[in-house]
Structure 1
Amino acid sequence: MKKRLAKIFAAPWYFAAFAIYPPLALIAYNSAEMRPAEGMRALLLSLLAALVLFGLLRLAFGSKQRAALTVSLWLLLFYSYGHACNLVSKQWDVPHLAAWMGGLWLVLAGAATGWLARRRTRVRKAAPALNLVALGLVVTSAAQVIIWTAPYSGSVADDHADVQTLTVPAGETPPDIYYIIVDSYGRSDLLQRSFKIDNTEFIQNLEEMGFYVAECSQSNYNRTEVSLASSLNMDYLQNLDDAYQPPSIGRGRLWDSISHSAVRADLEGAGYKTVAFATGFPWTEITDADAFLAPSPLWSQMTSFETLLLRTTPLRHLEDTGSINLDEIDGQRFRQRTELIFDNMDDLAQMPGPKFVFIHILPPHPPFVYAPDGSWTDPAAFLNDDRLYTGASYTKGYRNQVAYINGQLEAALQTLLDESPTPPVIIVQGDHGPWLQNGSGKFMILNAYHLPGHNDLLYPAISPVNTFRLVLDTYLGGDYPLLDDISYYSPTPDIYNFSLVPNPCLDR
């Protein structure tokens, strides 16, 4: 056994592991923002390129050991380039940084290749140690991905979620239920104070359609996946599962609790079908819904992960030459998913029911890709040199997209109301407040309800945790008493380390 292991580790396969590691490490680092599958194409292409280079260099050098070491050094230089550029640019203002860094990296690559091509001493002894290092890096990153995103197998993800047997009252037609999340859409008073947005006309239009707008509503949590896991399971996370306690930072079960929620289980048990849309964010994509609508995939279209990985390499300078606009590639996918939702409102209204439709609309959340009239904007124009939003640029982009979304929402909601055979239940809700806010501003949300015949049950400070408690009790005979409306803040990455946040609106 020892001899077999020694033979395996003497072979120079470490270059292949080093080719896998950079994409895999980036997947692990961004596990909270993506599905691992989004990075598989880049990982496989990296591995394939390394294998091709290894084959060519083995022929050129007549040595697989030298070929493996050369490929590994090239990979190190290739994938470290972007990080080195970022580090230098943050420390010093270097004119023509791309030329200097590109020249330095070429010199390093050439020197290493020449040294290995001419070197007479054997490099075989390096293989076991390099194999061990490469294997350790890959295993560590793979473990991180598994810990963060491992799914939970079960009809309802959370151990303590309250699933009930619901029934439609005799002689009544169950209403379609639309749960429309408008990401980071703030409450009117916050929009006026922080963004100088007068949202009076939009709110009045909602009220004229028959909506009740909760004027003191706050989200229960300050980030999307935590907020939705709570609202779709009708309870606070602290009560739903022991996994949602510090020091845990894993999100696999959390994400699963959104796609396999108590609300979905209740409604499907009562004969509802589930309809959902692609969002680009794994935690809000219910891919196993009865109907899951997504833009047609294009193999040629880069994923968000691939644009991120590209920026860690010398290929980032394709942007500088105008050969490619990575932000616009991301923005185009963002637009496709947004417009798919609004383009399908007629079909949704006429789709046979009863149905539970979960819609996550990303704007006004960045990237900022829409002007107020719906024309396209360049998302890169709102980012500074460090690829961050300033207060001014975020405000401009947010104002643009609120104006655009308001018009789209009004038309979409009117379509649902006009074309649905039975008056539908519609909830239009922010999952949390806008970015760059302090204190309770992170939680102030739009929260509007169309509950046919029952708007009188609503109240100004109703929060998302009580949304479906009220809906299911009212229309399907549920027994879900209302909870206290409470807001909890948690930092990144300690997303389960909760602290209370007051609702100052209640003190007016």
Structure 2
Amino acid sequence: MKKRLENKPYFIILIGVFYLLSLVNQYYPILRVSDLTLPVALLLIAINVFLYIIFTFIFPKLLKYALLLLYLQMVYFFYGSLQDFLKDNINLLSRYRYLLPLLLGVGVIIWIALKRSSASFAKHFRYLNTLFIILVVIEVVRSITITATDGQSKLWFSQRKDLRINTAICDTCFKPDIYFVIFDGYTASRTLKEYWNYDNNGLDSFFRQNGFYYAWHSRSNYNSTPYSIGSILNMGYHAKRPNRKIDVVQFCKGIESVQTNSVCKILEKNNYKIINQSCFPLPNQKAPLTITYLTRKERILLAQTLWSRAMVDIGWNFPFLNRSSGHVAAQIARAKSNRLQVTKAYDSLLKISAQHYQQPVFVYAHFFVPHDPYFYDSTGKITPDSTWIHSRNAKERYLSQLKYTNTIIKDVVTHLKKEGNRPRVLIIQSDHGFRTYGNVALRPLEFNNLNAIYFPDKDYAQLYDSITSVNTFPVVFRKYLHAPIPLLKDSTIFLIK
């Protein structure tokens, strides 16, 4: 065995296995072990096996250059991780103009050193083979652990020291149905007036006439959907704040906080039936809707590679690579999926609201409007699909889709307010506001959100006009479960988009 480790470049294959397993663990629950059977994953392994065969059987005299190949594999597979590390520690060096020449220079030095050397590299081979065997085993164990615990060991949200789930159990309390309905990216009426010069009084007055408490100066706590929803459903702020652009990895961290949230756990302890009609998994429940840009798992598997990272960061310099007919068609297909899911969310929510459940229910529904892509005009008519993927006139197109979203909101509220077998608490919110201002000075506006809450008894003494989303459920639980959950300081945390 020792001789094999010294003479065979198993690390050429093992590095690909390690890369894929580490991705599955890092992106869980978006990626799972079963996704390693996807064609792109199998292709990566096949290429590595082919390279191993070349060095081992076809050109054995070139065996020492397997070390150079390993270096190139490391650069390709882990470029994104290296760049993120440099951004956090040596930002200047993370720029392509410096990093790529540096990596190329190191590669040239390795090549020259190998060419000039006549020494045996048996010890190097043994060390690298052993190292990657250990790394693969570690990732396998991590994968088993994460799957067994459903990712609960990887949480990023802050566990509130003053939150005890058992203290929020109330056997004698009146327990209404709770409907938590999110309209993604809906900005506050005050911002619509300030930035669009649009009077949204039609919706504002609708809420007031229907007995809602309308928080005019409400704000979201985060400007990123999973972080905002995770904060709301955990009634707390995230323990870690990403200090770089929100990529797929960071997005998944936010999703994890939703998947194991405290609100659902408390409600389950109080005999609530949890009904998920959102794009995020809840405790013991899968997401019935999908986040379209996360459904292309092949893209996620390659997200941290040199090629994929370069296309995201500097691909705009090469329009022929990003604007091919296939690329445009894929974007339109994802936009169409979003539109269909708006219809699905609407139909499912109305169907649920018409049913009578023996136990109280908590329903979380998520509508992907008025967030882009903008496929509705103000009347609900579908716009030409060729306009869905362009950012031109985003301000005007957002407002048009928002106007139609108002129609959806009114219709949803009207149905939810119909008499059921028990009274209902209705929470109509947005996760954040409009985010495409194109002006750094306007970034604070991204937090100005929609926030309308309905209590059956219309006693809103615990609500206040400037409430932020994180304090939504503490108020609800204090009122209906008599839970001693203190409110948090209302703060906003800007995440880099």
Band the TM-score falls in, shorter-chain normalisation: 0.5 to 0.7
Q: 2 CA distance for matches of 1:338 and 1:326?
A: 19
Matched residue, 1:233: 234
Letter in 1 for 2:483: G
Deviation at 1:63, TM superposition (A): 6.5
Shift of 1:358: 1.8
- Shift of the alpha carbon at 1:230? 3.1
The number of residues matched between the two structures is 426
Pairs within 5 Å for 1:193-204: 193-204=194-205
Kept in 1: contact 2:186–2:430 (CA 8 A): yes
Greater Cα offset, 427-436 or 248-257: 248-257
Residue 44 of structure 2 is matched in structure 1 by: 47
The structure where helix makes up a greater share of residues is 2
Q: Which residue matches 1:158?
A: 159
Report the counterpart of residue 183 of structure 1 in structure 2.
Answer: 184
1:213 to 1:330, Cα distance in 2 relative to 1, 3 A: same
Q: Which amino acid aligns with 2:403?
A: A
Instruction: Note the C-alpha offset of 1:451.
Output: 1.0
Partner of 2:350: 346
- Report the Cα distance in structure 1 between the residues aligned to 2:339 and 2:61, rounded to whole angstroms: 48
SS of aligned partner of 2:169: coil
Please state how far the C-alpha of 1:401 moved relative to its aligned partner: 3.3
The 8 Å contact of residues 327 and 378 in structure 1, kept in 2 or not, is answered as: no
Q: What is the Cα deviation at residue 443 of structure 1? A: 1.6
Local SS of the residue matching 2:466: coil
Query: Is 1:440 aligned to 2:441, yes or no?
Result: no
Q: Does 1:294 align with 2:288?
A: yes
Q: Can you list the C-alpha shifts for 1:22-77, whole angstroms capped at 9, x where unaligned?
A: 7778889x95x9723396435533335426756997999587978x97xx79x97x
User: Which deviations, in whole Å up to 9, do the C-alpha atoms of 1:449-491 show, x marking residues without a partner?
Assistant: 111112442332222232122212222333335455x223244
Q: 1:321 to 1:439 in 2, by over 3 A?
A: closer
C-alpha distance in structure 1 between counterparts of 2:419 and 2:334, whole Å: 34
What does the per-residue CA deviation read over 1:103-124, in whole Å, with 9 as the maximum and x for residues that have no partner? xxxxxxxxxxxxxxxxxxx999
Residue pair 1:217, 1:463 contacting (<8 A) in 2 also = yes
Q: Residues 195-214 of structure 1: CA distance to partner in whole angstroms, max 9, x if unpaired?
A: 44432222223333332221
Q: 1:338 touches 1:362 (CA, 8 Å); kept in 2?
A: yes
Shift of 1:367: 3.9
The SS at the match of 1:448 is strand
**Cα distance in 1 for residues equivalent to 2:126 and 2:329:** 37
Aligned CA distance change for structure 1 residues 267 and 138 (closer, same or farther; 3 Å):
same
Residues in 2 aligned to 1:463 and 1:185: alpha-carbon distance in whole angstroms: 15
Partner of residue 452, structure 1: 456
Partner of 1:285: 281
Match of 1:462 in 2: 467
Whole-angstrom distance in 1 between the partners of 2:57 and 2:340:
47
User: Which residue of structure 2 lines up, in the alignment, with residue 363 of structure 1?
Assistant: 369
Out of 369, 377, 382, the residue aligned to residue 375 of structure 1 is 382
- TM-superposed CA distance for 1:414, in Å, is 1.8
- What secondary structure, in the 3-state scheme, does the structure 2 residue paired with 1:471 have? helix
**How big is the shift at 1:134?**
12
How far has the Cα of 1:424 moved from its partner? Answer: 1.1
Instruction: State whether residues 181 and 365 of structure 2, in contact with CA within 8 Å, keep that contact through their aligned partners in structure 1.
Output: yes
Contact 2:234 2:262 in 1 (8 A): yes
2:338 counterpart letter in structure 1: F
State the match for 2:207 in structure 1.
206
Mapping for residues 303-318 of structure 1, pairs under 5 Å: 303-307=295-299, 309=302, 312=308
- Return the letter of the residue paired with 2:232: S
Q: Pick from 329, 347, 353 the counterpart of residue 333 of structure 2.
A: 329
* Cα separation, 1, equivalents of 2:207 and 2:126: 64
Task: Please tell me the residue identity of whatever aligns with 2:382.
Answer: S
Contact 2:14 2:132 in 1 (8 A): no
Query: By how many angstroms is 1:336 displaced?
Result: 4.0
Two-structure CA RMSD over aligned residues (Å): 5.3
Query: Is the contact made by 2:15 and 2:132 (CA closer than 8 Å) also made in structure 1?
Result: no
Q: Which amino acid aligns with 2:203?
A: F
Whole-angstrom CA distance in 1 between matches of 2:203 and 2:223: 24
**2:170 aligned partner:** 167
Task: Label 1:402 to 1:336 Cα distance change in 2 as closer, same or farther (>3 A).
Answer: same
Provide the rounded CA distance (Å) in 2 between the counterparts of 1:201 and 1:297: 30
Q: Measured at CA, do residues 52 and 44 of structure 1 come closer, stay the same or move farther in structure 2, by a change above 3 Å?
A: same
Equivalent residue letter for 1:402? L
CA distance in 2, matches of 1:318, 1:204: 45
Q: Secondary structure at the match of 2:409?
A: helix
Q: Which residue of 1 aligns with 2:32?
A: 37
Distance 1:422 1:273 in 2: 14
Counterpart of 2:234 in 1: which secondary structure? Answer: coil
In the other structure, the counterpart of 2:415 is 415
**Alignment partner for residue 12 of structure 1, among 9, 13, 33?**
9
Please state how far the C-alpha of 1:431 moved relative to its aligned partner.
Answer: 2.0
- Match of 1:184, SS state, is coil
1:166–1:266 CA contact under 8 A, matched in 2: yes
Distance 1:393 1:348, change over 3 A: same
Cα offset for 1:256?
Answer: 4.3
3-state SS of the aligned residue for 1:232? helix
**What TM-score, normalized by structure 1, do the two folds share?**
0.65
Counterpart residue type for residue 371 of structure 2? H
Deviations 1:373-420 (A, max 9, x none): 25265488544xxxxx5xx54324432432343222222222222263
| Structure 1 spans left out of the alignment, 5+ residues | 84-89, 92-121, 238-242, 384-388, 494-508
Counterpart residue number, 2:403: 403
Which of 211-220 and 6-15 deviates more?
6-15
Amino acid across the alignment from 1:285? P
In structure 1, what is the Cα distance between the partners aligned to 2:11 and 2:19?
Answer: 13
- CA-to-aligned-CA distance 1:111-147 (integer Å, 9 cap, x gap): xxxxxxxxxxx9996995699499779959979x99x
User: Which of 481, 485, 488 pairs up with 2:492?
Assistant: 488
Distance 1:476-1:306 versus aligned 2 partners, 3 A rule:
same
Q: 1:346 to 1:481 in 2, by over 3 A?
A: same
Residues 232 and 468, structure 1, Cα contact 8 Å, conserved in 2 = yes
Q: Say which SS state the counterpart of residue 418 (structure 2) adopts.
A: helix
